[in-house]
Amino acid sequence: MEATAAAAKELTWGGGKAKPFSASYGKMMIWFFIMSDALTFSGFIIAYGAMRFKFLETWPIADEVFTHIPFVHGNFPMLYVAFMTFVLIFSSVTMVLAVDAGHQMKKTKVAWYMFATIIGGAIFVGSQAWEWKTFINGSYGAVQMYDGKIIQFVDASGHQVTLDSFVVTHHKDREQHLANNGLWYAEEASLPIFTVAEVSEAFKRHPELSVRTEKINFDMKSKEILSRDASLKYLAEGKAVITGADLKVNEYGKNLFANFFFFITGFHGFHVFSGIVFNIIIFFNVILGNYERRGSYEMVEKVGLYWHFVDLVWVFVFTFFYLV
Amino acid sequence: MAHEAEHTSHTALIWKVFIFLSIITLVEVVLGIYKPASLHLSSFLGTSPLNWIFLILTLVKAYGITWYFMHMIDEKKWFRRSIVWTSIFLLCYLTALLLIEGSYIDGIMSPYTKWDY
C-alpha cells in the first residue's frame, strides 16, 4: 500500500503519515466490523448450544435430518453439506488469489478470480436454498402428540418409513377452510395428507412397524424405539400429522432445532448474498479500471476479508449443526 | 509487515493452505459419516472423543482461514491481539455461562418429562 500512501495522504486518518498499527482506516474498520459480526454470530450459535444442552435428551440427530442429495434417492448424511463446505472454501481460495493478483497489479487476473468467487458464492447460496427446501418439505412425516412430542415410524430393522408407504387415506369429510368457502376474513393452512386416525388404523394393520420417540438412548446415541404395546399407547395421544418443518412444527423432533436452523443458516445465507453483491460491485470496479487508476487494489482486499469471514462462520455452522 | 513481499506472489502458499483445509474437512466428513463406535460412544472430558476431534479441527480450520486467507499473520501484533483476544475472551465467557445454564435447566426439567403413556 506504500504506492497509495502519497496519493491518499490526506485521506488516511488525517494525521499525516502516522497510521495506527500500520493499517489503513478502511482495513482497520472492516476488521472491527468483522469482530462485532463474529460476536453476533457467536451469540446465535451459543444460544443454540444453550437450548441444545437444555433439551439434551431429545435434541434431533443431525445425521437423520440432513440426508438428501439432489437427483438421487437414498440416505446420504453429510455429503451435501460437505459439498457446500468445499464450494465455500474454494471460493475463499479464488478470493485470496484475487487479492494476491491485486498486490501485483494484474487487472485481468483479479477480474477472473473475482468472477470465480462470485460464481462459487452463487452455487453456495443455491445449495443453501435447496437444503432449506428439502428440510421444509420433510422426508418421512411424523405425528405430533398433544403435549408437543414428535413420534416417528420405523420398520423392524429400525429404519424410518414414510407415512405414504403404509397409511391409506379415506374419503375426507373435511375441506380446507379458505377465504372463498368459509369465513371471508379467515383461512387455514393446507390440511395434512393424513389424519391421525388413519395413521393409527394403518399402524395397527402393520405389525412390523414401531414408534420411535424423541428420547435419545445415550449408550447407543440413537433415538429410542418402543415396543408395539407402548407404540399404540403413544399413538393414542396423537394430535396432528406433520410433514416437513417450519417455524411451528418439525417432523424431525424439537421445533427449536428448526427455528435455530432457519435463523442461523438464514442469517449466514444473507451474509453470503450480500457478500456476492459486494463482490459484484468490486468486480465491475476492477473491470472499469478504477483500482488500476487509484494505484491500489485495497478494496479487493477489504471485500475479501468480508468474504473470508463468511467462510469462517460457515466452518462453525458446519461443526455445530452437522458434526457434533 | 512485509511490504516488499506484497508484490511477490504467494500463490504457492495459498494452494498449500487450501489443500490443508480440504484435508481437514475431508477427515471431518469421513469421521462424521462413519462415526467409529470407539470414538463416538465413549466419553472423554464431558463429551465423546469424536466431538473433541471435531471441535479441535474446527479451531484449526478457523486459524488457517484467519491467519493465511485473511492475512492476520501480516498485521501488527497488537492489532491482531485487539481482534483475536477480545473475541476469544468474550466467546469463552458467553459459552461458559450459557452452557452451564442450559445443562442446569436440563437437570431440573428432564425428570418431569413424561415418557410413559
pLDDT digits (tens, 9 = 90+) for A220-248: 899 999 999 999 999 999 999 999 999 99
Residue A15, pLDDT score: 56
Q: Report yes or no: A273 and A125 within 8 Å, Cβ to Cβ.
A: yes
Residue A171, pLDDT score: 66
Domain end, chosen from A243, A273, A305, is at A243
Residue A11, pLDDT score: 55
CB-based contact B70 A85, cutoff 8 Å? no
Residue A163 has pLDDT above 50, yes or no: yes
Q: Is residue A86 part of a domain?
A: yes
Same domain, A197 and A224: yes
Confidence band, pLDDT 50/70/90 cuts, at residue B4 = very low
Confidence band, pLDDT 50/70/90 cuts, at residue B2 = very low
Of B58, B90, B106, the CB nearest to A316: B58
Q: Is residue A312 part of a domain?
A: yes
Of B6, B54, B76, the CB nearest to A323: B54
Same domain, A262 and A317: yes
Residue A183, pLDDT score: 87
Residue A10, pLDDT score: 55
The model's pLDDT over A21-53, given as tens digits with 9 standing for 90+, comes to 888 888 999 999 999 999 999 999 999 999 999
CB-based contact B14 A93, cutoff 8 Å? yes
A225–B contact, CB cutoff 8 A: no
Contacts B51 to A, Cβ<8 Å: 323-324
CA atoms within 13 A on the CB side of A185: 0
Same domain, A283 and A155: no
CB-based contact B32 A220, cutoff 8 Å? no
Whether the full predicted model's pTM is greater than 0.95, yes or no, is: no
Q: In the predicted model, what is the mean pLDDT of residues A261-279?
A: 97
Of A89, A221, A237, the CB nearest to B41: A221
Burial A87-116 (b: 16+ CB within 10 A, else e): bbbbbbbbbbbbbbbbbeebeebbbbbbbb
Query: How buried is A252 (Cβ within 10 angstroms: 0-12 exposed, 13-18 middle, 19+ buried)?
Result: buried
CB-based contact B87 A23, cutoff 8 Å? no
B110–A contact, CB cutoff 8 A: yes
Q: Is residue A150 part of a domain?
A: yes
Q: Is residue A193 part of a domain?
A: yes
Same domain, A74 and A203: no
Same domain, A219 and A309: no
B63–A contact, CB cutoff 8 A: no
Same domain, A304 and A155: no
Confidence band, pLDDT 50/70/90 cuts, at residue A17 = low
User: Which tops the pLDDT comparison, B2 or A323?
Assistant: A323
Taking CA atoms, what residue in A is nearest to B91?
A: A42
Rounded distance between C-alpha atoms, residue A65 and residue B11, angstroms: 39
Q: Is residue A183 part of a domain?
A: no
Residue A186, pLDDT score: 86
Q: Report yes or no: A5 and A295 within 8 Å, Cβ to Cβ.
A: no
Range of the domain at A197: 142-171+189-243
Q: Is residue A45 part of a domain?
A: yes
Q: Is residue A67 part of a domain?
A: yes
Residue A36, pLDDT score: 95
Residue B5, pLDDT score: 47
ipTM over 0.90: yes
Residue A24, pLDDT score: 84
Same domain, A51 and A111: yes
Instruction: Work out how many domains chain A is built from and give that number.
Output: 2
